[in-house]
Amino acid sequence: MELEQQLVIPRAVDAVWLALNDPNMLQGSLPGCQRFEQVGDNAFDMTVSAKIGPVRATFNGSIALQNLNPPFSYEIAGEGKGGVAGFAKGGAKVSLNAITEAGLPATLLTYSVTATVGGKIAQLGGRLIQGAARKMAQDFFTQFVRRLCDDETLDLVIETIKEP
Amino acid sequence: MSGSLIGKRVLRKEDHRFVSGKGRYTDDIQLVGVTYAAFVRSPYARADIKSFDVSEALAAPGVIAVLTGEEVVKDGLGGLPCGWMIHSKDGSEMRQPHHPVLAADRVNYLGEPVALVIAETQLEAKNAAEMVMVDFEPLTAVVNPATASQAETLYEAVPNNVCYEWELGDEAATDAGLAAAAHITTLQLTNNRLIPNAIEPRAALAEYNSGTDEIILHTTSQNPHLVRLIMTAFVQIAPEHKLRVIAPDVGGGFGSKIFIYSEETALAWAAKKLGLTIKWTAERSESFLTDAHGRDHVSEAQLALSAEGEFLALKVKTIANMGAYLSTFASAVPTYLYGTLLAGQYRTPAIYVEVDSVFTNTAPVDAYRGAGRPEATYLVERIVEKAAAEMGLDPAELRRRNFIGRDQFPYQTPVALEYDTGDYEASLSKALEMADYDTFATRQAEAASRGKLRGIGLSCYIEACGLAPSQVAGALGAGVGLWESGEVRVNPTGSVTVLTGSHSHGQGHETTFAQLVADRLGLPIEDVEVVHGDTGKLDFGLGTYGSRSLAVGGSALSVAADKVVEKGRKIAAHLLRTDVDNIDFDAPVFKMLDSNESKTFQEIAFAAYVNHDYPSDELEPGLAEKAFYDPLNFTYPAGTHICEVEIDPDTGVVEVVQFVAVDDFGTIINPMIVEGQVHGGLAQGIGQALLEQAVYDDTGQLITGSYMDYCMPRADNFPDFKVGMTCTPCTHNPVGAKGCGEAGAIGSPPAVMNAITHALGGIEVDMPATSEKVWRAVQTMRTLKTA
Amino acid sequence: METIELKINGRKRTLHCLPNATLVEVLRDQLHLTGTHVGCDTTQCGACTIHVDGCAVKACTVLAVRSDGSDVMTIEGLAENEASHPMQEAFKACHGLQCGFCTPGMIMSAVDLVNKGCALEPSAIREALSGNICRCTGYQNIVAAVMQGASEMQEQSS
């Protein structure tokens, strides 16, 4: 599955870029994140619980930040194993464009997400991957922007560019 | 009284226990001290196993043991064998990858078992199974059979993933027929992959008695003796006399419970190894992943016709998917159960078929109701109907011009089989009449006035059943003879226990076989009890598949009953102080021919066991006779199915509005049971045509892995079927029966698809004809019409 | 462990079960009422259909603790005083079963649809039974059995 969405963040590109590279920001924004450890340059181990369709699983996995092009874009590549529930692999391309919003510097953030799953998750929840991945991405960026702007009630408009 | 029970709609003896909840299926058996197993399975279609870590699972509450593929290797267990050797056209033997009981270093399909956890409760076993850490390193999977021979090689010993390249028939003669043709019809088609889905999931309960060193395995099997043979002779978990296999009530099989699987084998092995009683019952999800799937062919064919519509030649090329390993009978299905049936009901003089069987990273594929014969029938009956449309001939008329006539039997086809008898015209005529074929145009016009597209399709199928004459099967590569055994054991009071090597898992043998024997002996059916499914009670048996039970197993009982009568005559002669030639059996009475003295069956039975004055050199006490019946030929059930569909062009929904099936099964013992078999077969065949398909994504994940995604036929998918019979008794078995279990699933898919193609004005869709595919075809049809 | 009280096939029972135990597990494993079968893990097949407080439910999807205080009837309790229920007799008479595995659930659904006043015509019965999968019969004889069983049930009650 592949999903592409974008949103406007009322902060300058440099600030957004810094936040995107801050492990604390990433951890705090990731829904269901129970553990998040830096294990190398731009590499992290983590434990995330997720529910896809009828299957609830705790994934042990890793993510890596790749193809860094500061302060404009990078890619997140991740994979997780959920034991008997199966496995998930995915990635996101994130790019930032400087724009002006209400006369102030702002950032247009575009992300495209791919995800594949296997095992019981695919067998029982395969049809629900699309929805689960979309929700997870939206929850992540909503939380990310709220933390960045230090505004827990900020309403975010996320626009879908491409969805299968 | 003989003859009073044959052909009667006797209600089933077995039904009372089933309708009252007293059936005894494997999972219903409750044993003291039972423990439970759960399997750890691969979440990948193909991966290397780097390591197992069972420490956390072993420490979990209630866990008794964890066994992995490594223990299987350490214990030197053999692999699960395939019982049918196929030779490629170059003479080489088929290639067979090692099929481990539990994988130790490489998994080759999604759901392949790698370990089992045994715990005090089912929940504890399942919880601990999640704690077994298997370090898998995923590898690229080969999923598509059509391109598997060009993909990465999966097994060192299997170049290009090809199991065999098989051929049958005369290629030169076939090519000559094609060259001489006035018209050639070509067809490409896919026979969709199916998941059998017996409603009782597979299960096993293994007990081990260390005092006697005996394992008792209760399991969901169509052929318990074969389970015992393979587990002991090949996998070598125990000596054969120390393993008893019991297949109690079994909730449907359809082929899927013929095969010897990892789970049942692992359970019997673990029970002995650990000295435990262990139960495992598959979750439906596990059944989807690991029950042998069915069909999965990709084919192309050319039919050569003369200007008058006479079939000159048929040439077929098929790729058959074997899945990741060769299941128990897998290799025979797309060869001797498929290629040999491509003559259909026709006189086609030249036929040539090539079948490439390939391995993929999918569940093993093996026999499913019909096994090879539905694939052959689907191809032949689709291409014949297409040829009729192309040549502007009525499809019934084209078939008639090519039928093997009723006076042409025995008929040798160009693809190895000799049909013994049949009357194809009789079934066709009766079906056309029952379907009101002549007035179809009126119904079509009426449907059009409601905005519906109505189509009609025919299918004149033949199948080879009664597997199998052992010499023929052996010559074709079968690893075992395919006779059947039976015993008629007369008890001292005159009641009869019938033991059969066939197995009933819905077919009603407890009634049909009782009818057969009660009729022969002149007894009330209540006095005859049928026993099956236990290696501890019967010497050997080959089980139930290929519509063989009555034709082969019933014939064995018929012969055994004759032996009982012969022995009874000797006892009567002794008791009546006369010569055996002077005794006639007028069921149920043994009569002296030259006087009016006689003995009843009950008197003879009693005397057989209690008398003490037998001339011991001439007559043994007792009245129990065994017979092994080896058929002389296959049987050839045949018939005509006619389907009418209506398509809603706005939604693409296909409704089967009429279905007629006329079958010739030879002699019928119980028409009620036979009609039930036809209904069930039709539902599976129409299900294949309209609803069912196993779909793997391109990484080998099964995306139709539950009843939410795999569309099972339900009550509201069908109309009432119109079922009729014709009869030409089988010429070479004592019962005259041909077999009826598979016909419905064989004949119906092409009838449905021909009807849909007809409704769509010749536009073809592949099975299953889902509303989406049909809706798209309707759009294409409209575009073509306006262009 | 939770303690629950159920009336099962007319008899009061006090049971101890895990909070996550389903009703069908308790019926089969603790009470040995193995006539109620399990054919799937997604509540699609209907083999586990029983009656709870007079209504058909799929026992694989009911927690045992949620049925505390309920009146439960399984296939074993359908026949009163040892005689067969008319629906059981009709399934036998119409050859409405083959392997028998789906049959108890099918019969419990059939009795429920008659009790609920489903129109006794084939199309309505087919729709009402579409939550129960049978792989053997092609459903035709099941529909015939339900028609026959229903009319006998109505005769008995009138």
Measured between beta carbons, which residues in chain A are less than 8 angstroms from residue B708?
Answer: 124, 127
Burial pattern B548-579, b for ≥16 Cβ within 10 A else e, equals bbbbbbbbbbbbbbbbbbebbbbbbbbbbebe
Choose the weakest-confidence range: A26-35, B678-687, B757-766.
A26-35
Cross-chain CB nearest to B703 (options A84, A119, A126) = A126
CB contact under 8 A, B709 and A119: no
Quick check: B747 and B459 in contact, CB under 8 A? yes
Instruction: Supply A125's token pair.
Output: 């929840």
DSSP string computed for C68-112? TT-EEE-HHHHSGGGSPPHHHHHHHHTT--SS-SSHHHHHHHHHH
Cross-chain CB nearest to B285 (options A87, A123, A126) = A123
Quick check: B427 and B640 in contact, CB under 8 A? yes
CB contact under 8 A, A120 and B285: yes
Task: Pinpoint the alpha helices (H) of A52-158.
Answer: 120-125, 129-149
Strand order in the sheet with B106-107: B106-107, B47-53, B133-138
Q: How confident is the model at residue A162 (pLDDT cuts 50, 70, 90)?
A: confident
Q: Which of residues 63-92 of C touch B (CB under 8 A)?
A: 74-76, 78-79, 84, 88-89, 91-92
Closest CA to B713 of C141, C47, C134: C134
Measured between beta carbons, which residues in chain B are less than 8 angstroms from residue A122?
Answer: 697, 701-703, 705
CA distance, residue A151 to nearest chain B CA (Å): 40
CB contact under 8 A, C135 and B718: no
Residue with tokens 């049936």: B341
B9, B14, B19: best to mutate for the C interface, most C CBs within 10 A: B19
CATH class for the domain made up of B483-629: alpha beta
Cα distance between residue B597 and residue B600, in whole Å: 10
Is a pLDDT exceeding 80 seen at residue C114? yes
Is a pLDDT exceeding 80 seen at residue B149? yes
Nearest CA in chain A to B133: A83
What integer pLDDT is reported at residue A1 of this predicted model?
65
Cα distance between residue B230 and residue B327, in whole Å: 12
What integer pLDDT is reported at residue B785 of this predicted model?
83
CB of C124 less than 8 A from some CB of B: no
A49, A52, A59, A84: best to mutate for the B interface, most B CBs within 10 A: A84
Q: Return the SS3 of B602.
A: helix
- DSSP label at B504? -
Query: What CATH number is associated with residue A146?
Result: 3.30.530.20
Report the CATH superfamily, name and number, of domain C2-78.
Beta-grasp domain (3.10.20.30)
Give the fold, CATH level 3, of B297-467+633-786: Aldehyde Oxidoreductase; domain 4 (3.30.365)
What integer pLDDT is reported at residue A54 of this predicted model?
67
Q: Cβ atoms within 10 A of the Cβ of B322, count?
A: 30
- DSSP label at A22? -
- pLDDT per position as a tens digit, B549-592: 999 999 999 999 999 999 999 999 999 999 999 999 999 999 99
CA distance, residue B378 to nearest chain C CA (Å): 20
CB contact under 8 A, A123 and B130: no
- Chain B positions with Cβ closer than 8 Å to A: 40-41, 43-45, 110, 129-131, 133, 285, 288-289, 697, 699, 701-703, 705-706, 708-709
Q: How confident is the model at residue B3 (pLDDT cuts 50, 70, 90)?
A: low
CB of B285 less than 8 A from some CB of C: yes
- pLDDT per position as a tens digit, B188-198: 999 999 999 99
Task: Pinpoint the alpha helices (H) of A59-99.
Answer: none
CB contact under 8 A, B18 and C42: no
The backbone torsions φ and ψ at residue B707, rounded to the nearest 5 degrees and listed phi first, read -70, -5
> How distant, in Å, are the alpha carbons of B659, B662, B682, B748, B755 from that of B656?
7, 17, 12, 11, 9
Measured between beta carbons, which residues in chain B are less than 8 angstroms from residue A61?
Answer: none
The backbone torsions φ and ψ at residue B450, rounded to the nearest 5 degrees and listed phi first, read -95, 5
Query: Can you state the percent helix, strand and coil of chain A, rounding each to 5?
Result: 30, 50, 20
What are the residues whose beta carbons fall under 8 Å from the beta carbon of B549, sequence distance 6 or more? B484, B500, B502, B503, B504, B507, B509, B739, B741
Closest CA to B375 of B313, B308, B294: B294
Identify the bridge partners of residue B453 per DSSP, sorted by sequence position: B647
Is a pLDDT exceeding 80 seen at residue C10? yes
Cα distance between residue B21 and residue C58, in whole Å: 16
CB contact under 8 A, A124 and B289: no
Q: How confident is the model at residue C67 (pLDDT cuts 50, 70, 90)?
A: very high
> How distant, in Å, are the alpha carbons of B129, B482, B509, C141 from that of B466?
43, 9, 15, 27
B112, B134, B701, B711: best to mutate for the A interface, most A CBs within 10 A: B701
Instruction: Supply C112's token pair.
Output: 């429920």
CB contact under 8 A, B199 and C123: no
What integer pLDDT is reported at residue A128 of this predicted model?
78
Cross-chain CB nearest to C140 (options B16, B716, B720) = B720
Closest CA to B717 of B689, B740, B744: B689
Question: Average of pLDDT values for C150-154?
Answer: 95
Closest CA to A26 of A64, A53, A57: A64
Mean pLDDT for chain B? 96
What integer pLDDT is reported at residue A85 of this predicted model?
80
Is a pLDDT exceeding 80 seen at residue B594? yes
Closest CA to B512 of B339, B334, B676: B676
CB contact under 8 A, C100 and B254: no
Measured between beta carbons, which residues in chain C are less than 8 angstroms from residue B27?
Answer: 28, 34, 38
What integer pLDDT is reported at residue B1 of this predicted model?
47
Instruction: Supply B31's token pair.
Output: 């044993």
Residue with tokens 């009138």: C158
What integer pLDDT is reported at residue A136 of this predicted model?
86
CB contact under 8 A, C99 and B252: yes
CA distance, residue B280 to nearest chain A CA (Å): 17
Instruction: Supply A150's token pair.
Output: 């230090």
What integer pLDDT is reported at residue B547 of this predicted model?
87
Cross-chain CB nearest to B44 (options A84, A85, A118) = A118
CB contact under 8 A, B701 and A87: no
Q: How confident is the model at residue B2 (pLDDT cuts 50, 70, 90)?
A: low
CA distance, residue A53 to nearest chain B CA (Å): 12
CB contact under 8 A, B41 and A118: no
C8, C40, C82, C87: best to mutate for the B interface, most B CBs within 10 A: C40
CATH class for the domain made up of B31-139+201-251+257-282: alpha beta
Strand order in the sheet with B638-647: B453-462, B638-647, B654-664, B722-726
Cα distance between residue B6 and residue B669, in whole Å: 5
Measured between beta carbons, which residues in chain B are less than 8 angstroms from residue A118?
Answer: 43-45, 110, 699, 701
Question: Average of pLDDT values for B304-321?
Answer: 98
- Angle at CA of residue A115, ends A112 and A118, nearest 5°: 175
Q: Which of residues 115-144 of A touch B (CB under 8 A)?
A: 116-120, 122-124, 126-127
CB contact under 8 A, B44 and A119: yes
- pLDDT per position as a tens digit, B671-704: 999 999 999 999 999 999 999 999 999 999 999 9
DSSP string computed for B250-305? ----TTTTTS--HHHHHHHHHHHHHT-EEEEE--HHHHHHHS-BB--EEEEEEEEE
Cα distance between residue B656 and residue B460, in whole Å: 18
Q: How confident is the model at residue A126 (pLDDT cuts 50, 70, 90)?
A: confident
Nearest CA in chain B to A82: B130
Q: Based on the structure, what is the number of domains in chain A?
A: 1
Burial pattern B477-510, b for ≥16 Cβ within 10 A else e, equals bbbeebbbbbbbbbbeebbbbbbbbbbbbbbbbb
Instruction: Supply A68's token pair.
Output: 């860094």
**Domain boundaries in chain C?**
2-78, 80-153
Instruction: Supply B64's token pair.
Output: 């008794």
Give the fold, CATH level 3, of C80-153: DNA polymerase; domain 1 (1.10.150)
What integer pLDDT is reported at residue C157 of this predicted model?
84
Quick check: B625 and B563 in contact, CB under 8 A? yes
CB contact under 8 A, B697 and A127: no
CA distance, residue B205 to nearest chain A CA (Å): 23
Instruction: Supply B219's token pair.
Output: 């399991």
> What crossing angle do the helices spanning A129-149 and A13-20 adopt, rounded to 10°?
120
Show which subunits contact A, needing at least 3 CB pairs below 8 angstroms: B
Range of the domain at A46: 2-162
Q: How confident is the model at residue B468 (pLDDT cuts 50, 70, 90)?
A: confident
Nearest CA in chain A to B705: A123
CA atoms within 13 A on the CB side of B281: 22
Quick check: B459 and B639 in contact, CB under 8 A? no
Is a pLDDT exceeding 80 seen at residue B20? yes
Q: Cβ atoms within 10 A of the Cβ of B588, count?
A: 20
Q: How confident is the model at residue A131 (pLDDT cuts 50, 70, 90)?
A: confident
CB of B32 less than 8 A from some CB of C: no
Cross-chain CB nearest to B506 (options C37, C38, C136) = C136
The ipTM estimated for the assembled molecules is: 0.98
**Which residue has better confidence, A125 or B292?**
B292
The backbone torsions φ and ψ at residue B467, rounded to the nearest 5 degrees and listed phi first, read -65, 125
Quick check: A64 and A42 in contact, CB under 8 A? yes
For chain B, residues classed under CATH 3.30.365.10 are 297-467+633-786, 483-629
Cα distance between residue A122 and residue B412, in whole Å: 50
Measured between beta carbons, which residues in chain B are less than 8 angstroms from residue C139?
Answer: 679, 683, 714-715, 718
Closest CA to B572 of B587, B550, B560, B555: B587
Measured between beta carbons, which residues in chain C are less than 8 angstroms from residue B30?
Answer: 32, 34
Residue with tokens 């990310």: A144
For chain B, residues classed under CATH 3.90.1170.50 are 31-139+201-251+257-282
Question: Average of pLDDT values for A133-160?
Answer: 88
- pLDDT per position as a tens digit, A43-79: 999 998 887 766 777 888 999 999 999 999 999 999 8
What integer pLDDT is reported at residue B479 of this predicted model?
86
What integer pLDDT is reported at residue A153 of this predicted model?
83
The backbone torsions φ and ψ at residue B135, rounded to the nearest 5 degrees and listed phi first, read -90, 100
Q: Which of residues 104-143 of B touch C (CB under 8 A)?
A: 123
Cα distance between residue C158 and residue C156, in whole Å: 6
CB contact under 8 A, B720 and C122: yes
Choose the weakest-confidence range: A142-151, B86-95, B562-571.
A142-151
CB of B506 less than 8 A from some CB of C: yes
